[in-house]
């Protein structure tokens, strides 16, 4: 078999990223230029600033990736790019760069869903076994996704309000921690105690949906009440109590869904997959199960283009091709 090479581009939020992937599973080169420092002082991602940075970085990042791979665009079988969801101005930079490269070199163009990318980050180190259940937890998404075969995604549960990462970032902001708050809370939680009795949002019996806005309000109210009583709560305990609530619900619902749908494999995906507590609890929960649990290495959890190449390679094999009219789609469905 001749090797297949995909050049992948990702610019949906605040990372300008490119990668070369061989046969959907080997990372030949992977470059991520993060903009976090530019957004930090605003406490979150500023869309206009993100777009400008992508414009400045995209050519440099793609060239650096090809140089690292010791290859040129002519060596590629196709060019994959995140078409959505995400920030429209940010997505447009990647989509147009991919279109320009594909058109100039007459290469097939493949549009990739950002969440499909996060899920396929797990296939870089391990083969998939179907049926497969993905717990997707990122800044914009919280979903349980059931897959019966490559490229087919059925959402069996999703958040009704905030995404898990969004809840982390909002609670972090309440504690005056810098953006992005997820890693900060995770760190604090390691040395705190789950002693504040925050609620667990189980919702209706049998539902695989999530809700985090009640928890977020409980955290804010608890801090406020303590302040009024002139008490000080330890940030570590607030972080540990908040994180315990999030993790318990995520882990339990994932476990129930895995059992109900009799899946062979569970994969963890999205930026919050980097969370130490979540990784630990899921590992414990599935330790005595015949279900295979796959957790990506940290560098594949947050946004990158290797995962877009992994998903794009499968789409390419399945014959999916985008036209020259490919557009950024901020609300793209999985």
User: Which stretches of the chain bind ligand KG4, using CB under 6 A?
Assistant: 13, 138-140, 165, 168-169, 180-183, 186, 270-272, 274-275, 302-303
In angstroms, give the least distance from the CB of 181 to ligand KG4: 5
Q: Which is nearer to ligand KG4, 178 or 199 (CB)?
A: 178
Partner interacting with residue 84 (select from ligand KG4, Zn ion, none; CB below 5-8 Å by kind): none
Query: What is the crossing angle of helices 88-105 and 47-69, to 10°?
Result: 30
- Which 105-134 positions form the footprint of Zn ion (CB under 5 A)? none
Partner interacting with residue 181 (select from Zn ion, ligand KG4, none; CB below 5-8 Å by kind): ligand KG4
Q: Which is nearer to ligand KG4, 101 or 239 (CB)?
A: 239
Partner interacting with residue 192 (select from Zn ion, ligand KG4, none; CB below 5-8 Å by kind): none
Q: Which is nearer to ligand KG4, 147 or 268 (CB)?
A: 268
Partner interacting with residue 183 (select from Zn ion, ligand KG4, none; CB below 5-8 Å by kind): ligand KG4
Establish whether 137 is an annotated binding residue. Answer: yes
Count Cα neighbours of 72 within 13 Å in the Cβ-side half-sphere: 3
d(C-alpha 209, C-alpha 144), whole Å: 8
Token pair belonging to 200:
């667990």
d(C-alpha 334, C-alpha 138), whole Å: 15
Establish whether 136 is an annotated binding residue. Answer: yes
Between 236 and 275, how does the x/- string for binding to Zn ion read (CB under 5 A)? ----------------------------------------
Establish whether 161 is an annotated binding residue. Answer: no
The residues, ordered by sequence, that sit 6+ positions from 33 with a Cβ below 8 Å of its Cβ are 15, 16, 17, 53, 57, 60, 61
Token pair belonging to 148:
């019966």
Q: Which is nearer to ligand KG4, 65 or 82 (CB)?
A: 82
Find the binder of Zn ion among 303, 309, 311, 315 (CB under 5 A).
303
Query: Does 138 engage in binding with Zn ion (CB under 5 A)?
Result: yes
Establish whether 270 is an annotated binding residue. Answer: no
Establish whether 304 is an annotated binding residue. Answer: no
In angstroms, give the least distance from the CB of 33 to ligand KG4: 14
The residues, ordered by sequence, that sit 6+ positions from 268 with a Cβ below 8 Å of its Cβ are 122, 134, 135, 137, 278, 279, 282, 293, 294, 295, 296
Q: Which is nearer to ligand KG4, 27 or 32 (CB)?
A: 32
Burial (Cβ within 10 Å: 0-12, 13-18, ≥19) of residue 221: exposed
d(C-alpha 155, C-alpha 162), whole Å: 17
Q: Which is nearer to ligand KG4, 220 or 298 (CB)?
A: 298
The 10 Å CB-count burial string (b at 16+, else e) for 38-70 is ebeeebbbbbebbbbbbbebbeebbeebbeebe
Pairing of strands 15-22, 5-10: antiparallel
Establish whether 169 is an annotated binding residue. Answer: yes
- Would you tell me how many other CB atoms lie within 10 Å of the CB of residue 324? 8
In angstroms, give the least distance from the CB of 13 to ligand KG4: 5
d(C-alpha 189, C-alpha 240), whole Å: 4
Binding interface with Zn ion (CB under 5 A): 138, 303
Q: Which residues are annotated as a binding site?
A: 114, 118, 136-140, 169, 182, 186, 275, 303
């Amino acid at each position: 078999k001749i090797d297949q090479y995909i050049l992948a581009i990702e610019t949906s939020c605040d990372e300008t990223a490119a990668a070369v992937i061989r046969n959907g599973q080997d990372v030949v080169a992977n470059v991520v230029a993060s903009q976090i420092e530019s957004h930090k002082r605003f406490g979150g991602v500023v869309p206009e600033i993100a777009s400008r940075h992508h414009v400045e970085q995209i050519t440099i990042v793609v060239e650096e990736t090809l140089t690292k791979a010791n290859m040129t665009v002519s060596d590629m079988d196709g060019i994959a790019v995140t078409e959505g969801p995400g920030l429209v101005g940010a997505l447009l930079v990647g989509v147009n760069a991919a279109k320009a490269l594909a058109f100039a070199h007459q290469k097939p163009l493949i549009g990739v869903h950002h969440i499909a990318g996060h899920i396929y980050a797990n296939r870089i180190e391990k083969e998939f076994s179907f049926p497969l259940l993905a717990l997707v937890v990122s800044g914009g998404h919280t979903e349980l996704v059931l897959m019966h075969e490559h490229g087919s995604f059925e959402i069996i549960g999703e958040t009704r309000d905030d995404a898990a990462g969004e809840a982390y970032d909002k609670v972090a902001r309440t504690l005056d921690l810098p953006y992005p708050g997820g890693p900060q809370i995770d760190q604090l939680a390691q040395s705190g105690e789950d002693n504040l009795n925050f609620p667990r949002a189980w919702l209706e019996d049998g539902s695989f949906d999530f809700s985090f806005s009640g928890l977020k309000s409980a955290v804010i109210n608890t801090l406020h009440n303590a302040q009024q009583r002139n008490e000080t709560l330890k940030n570590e305990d607030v972080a540990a109590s908040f994180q315990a609530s999030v993790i318990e619900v995520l882990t339990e619902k994932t476990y129930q869904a895995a059992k109900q749908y009799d899946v062979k494999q569970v994969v963890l995906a999205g930026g919050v997959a980097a969370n130490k507590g979540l990784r630990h609890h899921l590992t414990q929960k599935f330790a005595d199960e015949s279900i295979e649990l796959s957790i990506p290495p940290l560098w594949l959890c947050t946004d990158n283009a290797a995962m877009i190449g992994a998903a794009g390679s499968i789409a390419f094999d399945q014959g999916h091709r985008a036209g020259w009219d490919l557009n950024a789609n901020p609300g793209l469905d999985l």
